[in-house]
Amino acid sequence: MDRNARIFVAGHRGLVGSAVLRRLTEEGYGDLVLRSRAELDLTDQAAVRAFFDREKIDYVFLAAAKVGGILANDRFGGDFIRDNLQIQTNVIDAAWRAGVKKLLFLGSSCLYPKFAEQPLREDALLTGPLEPSNKPYAIAKIAGITMCQAYRRQYGFNAICAMPSNLYGPGDNFDPEGSHAIPGLIRRLHDAKRQGAPSVTLWGTGTPRREFLYVDDMADACLHLMDHYDGEDIVNVGPGEDVTIADLAGMIREVVGYPGTLTQDLSKPDGHPRKVMEVSRLFATGWRPKVGLEEGLRRTYAWFQENVAPGIDAPSAAKAAE
């Protein structure tokens, strides 16, 4: 991408979008087009088409999406499939119509079949049933990938698709009801430490294995793919290493400094038994992640303490003062 290119980061206030924005700024890209949800509703087809017609965008990072953890996906499946289908359909189609040079669409490792062979290869997509707990979200995002590939074949639109592993880092959602594994555990263990709770109960057996990628590494991979990849095939993005949820919780307990015990609620679902991705396609292009899991957790908790904790800790401090 030319440093003077006009670049639209869709979802620039979210976890991935904000990291992409940081990376673009660091690299000297100056013509960045940003719109909040209030300024541009990506579920509004007419508004999205008018935006692309007016702004003359060269490149698009499509990081806007409705996302959430296992609890949110289970409760709000209708919202997840509707909103994601609308967002990606409107943006991909309008970008093509407006002559955008290249678009990067983000999928997710949860789009692969629940019992696909590990590590997850790109060609495993659509080869088996999905994990039921996030099926509406997964189907919507698979439709986005298929749309990118179909527009490439029919119209020659240069749309590429990246499949990130589980992402975490600064800007994450730490809401206890709607967050993913790492921010959810950070919030719960931080709250337990602050409240002096003797134990924290975790969902499931703790045995599922997950792969986690620090979001600034994901942003770096996004820019790398924009510069070095033009294929139709999806590309997995991750470190290629996984950890059990139980071990992850133990690492977060150490980072947070929570002295209590961790227990498991075996009545709760585990989700996928294992998710680790085969990343040789990406690594062959010369990219590698830079931030290890322990360091990433420390950076994430430091960001949480500075940006989120003051707001949730304040009520307790005020009550103590009374």
- Active-site positions read 137
Classify each residue of 296-305 as buried b or exposed e, where b means 16 or more C-beta atoms within 10 Å of its C-beta: bbebbbebbe
108 known member of a binding site: yes
Residues 6 or more apart in contact with residue 267 via CB below 8 angstroms: none
Please identify which residue in the block is written with the tokens 């594994």. Answer: 181
Q: How many CB atoms lie within 10 A of CB 38?
A: 6
Are 111 and 123 in contact, with CB atoms under 8 Å apart? no
Residues 6 or more apart in contact with residue 296 via CB below 8 angstroms: 168, 169, 212, 214
Q: Which amino acid is at 88?
A: Q
16 known member of a binding site: yes
287 known member of a binding site: no
210 known member of a binding site: yes
196 known member of a binding site: no
54 known member of a binding site: no
11 known member of a binding site: yes
**C-alpha span between 52 and 42 (Å, rounded):** 11
166 known member of a binding site: yes
12 known member of a binding site: yes
| Residue 220 tokens, joined | 């770096």
141 known member of a binding site: yes
∠ CA(204), CA(209), CA(214), 5° rounding?
115
144 known member of a binding site: no
Which residues lie across from 163 on neighbouring strands? 236
96 known member of a binding site: no
56 known member of a binding site: no
| Residue 13 tokens, joined | 């206030």
107 known member of a binding site: yes
Locate all alpha helices (DSSP H) within 156-209, ordered by sequence: 181-195
| CA gyration radius, the chain | 20
228 known member of a binding site: no
Report how far Cα 238 is from the mean position of its chain's Cα atoms.
Answer: 12
Annotated binding site for substrate: 188, 203, 210, 270
Annotated binding site for NADP(+): 11-17, 106-109, 141, 164-167, 180
Annotated binding site: 11-17, 106-109, 141, 164-167, 180, 188, 203, 210, 270
